[in-house]
Chains A and B, each alone.
Chain A
Amino acid sequence: MKTILAFLAVLAAFVAAPFALGPYYTTLIIPILAYAIALTGLNLLFGYGGLLSFGHAMFLAIGAYASAVMGAKLGVRAFEAQLIVAMLASGTVAALIGLLCLRYTTIFFSMLTLAFGMIFHSFLFKFYDLTGGESGISVPRPSLFGASFASMSKTAFLVGPFYWYALGLFSVMFLLMALIVSSPFGLALKAGRDNERKTSFLGVPVFKVRYVAFILSGIYCAVGGAVLAVSIGAADPELSYWTQSGNMIFIIILGGLGQLFGPIVGAVSFTLLQDTLMANTEYWRFALGAILALIIIFAPRGILGLITRALEWRRR
């Protein structure tokens, strides 16, 4: 119940945003939604499953390239079809590398995912015919539910139909995740994070549970990546670079690790923070690093943790 109310509050803020902020800022919100979708998936693996992946930018890129290849090379403009291909491609890749990566946990898992991410990054560079190499592929405007919106300007399309589409997509993906983390599967995943051996002696096949979480997180990242590609108008190899994976982890920790609203709170805060810092100082990376350190030391449950604590304090 609390989850639904909080979700409605978040939804209301995103519904009001385009009217309150105008087109320029609205175009900045679409990447926030894209990251929120992707990170909602990564949070399942990292926050609830305790498995820190340094390679999930790969799945973000798979989603972006699926949308780009479908739209630009195969002429399939229907965004729904692009999303389905993105999810299938990402799910397949996750199913393959998950089998290898999940044989390990802790730092070994992280390093293996990092390695696969790097391999994928260089694949994007080398396979020029498919991926466009260094310059990537530009993403033509997709059609949404069969409507092509050909008469609209690019900005009008993004802040109009596409914004609402992305918000709808985020809502569906978020609510599905709300069910997943409170399901018997979600419990088993968290149990395996807290104590793998104990959990397997409770009849839970921990590897299989993690495997499913890994595939789901890959699928979520691909959906986020497809939305991101449309909003920036291109799929390029930097999307899969390991610093991108690092940013994704940063955003989850900033928002609140292992909490359902962590990714959306993190994505909003990160964008605001980065924008403010970049506008005011050339040392913005230094400032971001310092903030990450402070969050980990003083607010390990992220901004959401601070909000929860403040609410509890006021109630007293």
Chain B
Amino acid sequence: MTEMLLRALNITKRYGAFTALAGVSFDISKGEVVAVVGPNGAGKTTLVNTLSGLFMPDEGGVMFEGRPVAGLGASALALRGLARSFQLVTIYPSFTVAEMISVGAFARAGQTFRLLRPSATCRREQAQVREVAAAFGLEHRLETTCSALSQGEKKLVDIASALTLRPRLMLLDEPTSGISSADKDRIMETLLAAAQRLGVESLVLVEHDMELIARYATRVIGLKAGSLVADMPPDAFFRDPAVIETLVGKVPHNALG
């Protein structure tokens, strides 16, 4: 029995009369790469926002490491080991890559309120920044301003900044959106290798690209109209035409290979 990290229990989230999530339950254990799939409006982002404590569910609850996520606040949750990224790439345009990555390093070390020491002279945190950058292949970019990076690099810096917290569980909302299909594979590979190297125990990712899911996920969770309609390993998922029809509509045949 592997250790359980996150438990979603019967979570329901409504926006007025519209039900975005309807009684969704699942557990996420150590060592899993969980892909969340479903058509637009299925509730994928709402799910990620609820799991990360950003939204309070109307019913049910989310537990991380056996303790409820609700009311904890984003920064406390992140420090406790549940990190996330956002659908749109979020970088600080004027920061260098090193500065962007160091924000989390200082937070993790409890140094955010250190006022009178230049951050560049904090050796221990800067060593961590270099280590994280190296895991993402960004070590030659440390002094580059974030706004000058390519779209793919921005995505990587965005995720790297969160992984500096060395989370146990990382939630990624469409990590490859806005990336050309030629680069998607490389980004995903870099990201997974870096996550492993930095000790992340499980990943949950909202993803549309079936080929990427077939290649990298260890489990697929399917949402439709706010309900959980599939929760299975990828090979079972891709062998079930009814489930695929419901969730994706069509499948590139090479993903079934």
Residue B99 contacts which of A176, A187, A195, A201 (CB distance < 8 angstroms)?
A: A187
B91 to chain A, nearest CB (A): 8
Residue B118 contacts which of A179, A200, A209 (CB distance < 8 angstroms)?
A: A179
Q: Produce 1/0 per residue, A160-196, CB < 8 A to B.
A: 0000000000000000100110111111101100110
Query: A146 at the A/B interface (Cβ < 8 Å)?
Result: no
* CA–CA, A186 and B120, complex, Å: 12
| Chain A residue nearest to B100 in the complex (CB) | A191
Query: B181 at the A/B interface (Cβ < 8 Å)?
Result: no
Query: A75 at the A/B interface (Cβ < 8 Å)?
Result: no
* CA–CA, A201 and B75, complex, Å: 5
Query: A95 at the A/B interface (Cβ < 8 Å)?
Result: no
Query: A205 at the A/B interface (Cβ < 8 Å)?
Result: yes
Residue B103 contacts which of A180, A197, A202 (CB distance < 8 angstroms)?
A: A202
Query: B112 at the A/B interface (Cβ < 8 Å)?
Result: yes
A202 touches B114 (CB 8 A): no
Most chain B CB atoms below 10 A, which of A176, A183, A190, A204: A183
Looking at B79-87, B201-209, B210-218, B231-239, the stretch in contact with chain A turns out to be: B79-87
Query: B17 at the A/B interface (Cβ < 8 Å)?
Result: no
Residue B106 contacts which of A188, A197, A198, A201 (CB distance < 8 angstroms)?
A: A188
Query: A22 at the A/B interface (Cβ < 8 Å)?
Result: no
| Chain B residue nearest to A212 in the complex (CB) | B113
Interface contact tally, CB-CB below 8 A: 104
A197 touches B75 (CB 8 A): no
B107 touches A183 (CB 8 A): no
Q: With a CB–CB cut-off of 8 A, which chain A residues contact B108?
A: 203
Q: With a CB–CB cut-off of 8 A, which chain B residues contact A197?
A: 54, 74, 86, 90
* CA–CA, A198 and B100, complex, Å: 11
A196 to chain B, nearest CB (A): 10
B75 touches A204 (CB 8 A): yes
* CA–CA, A285 and B108, complex, Å: 50
Query: A72 at the A/B interface (Cβ < 8 Å)?
Result: no
* CA–CA, A222 and B90, complex, Å: 37
Residue B112 contacts which of A180, A184, A195 (CB distance < 8 angstroms)?
A: A184
9 closest cross-chain pairs (CB), A and B: A203-B107, A200-B74, A184-B106, A194-B92, A198-B90, A182-B118, A203-B78, A202-B104, A203-B79
B-side residues, CB < 8 A to A, are 52, 54, 73-76, 78-79, 83-84, 86, 90, 92-95, 99-100, 102-104, 106-108, 111-120, 122, 125, 158, 161-162, 164-165
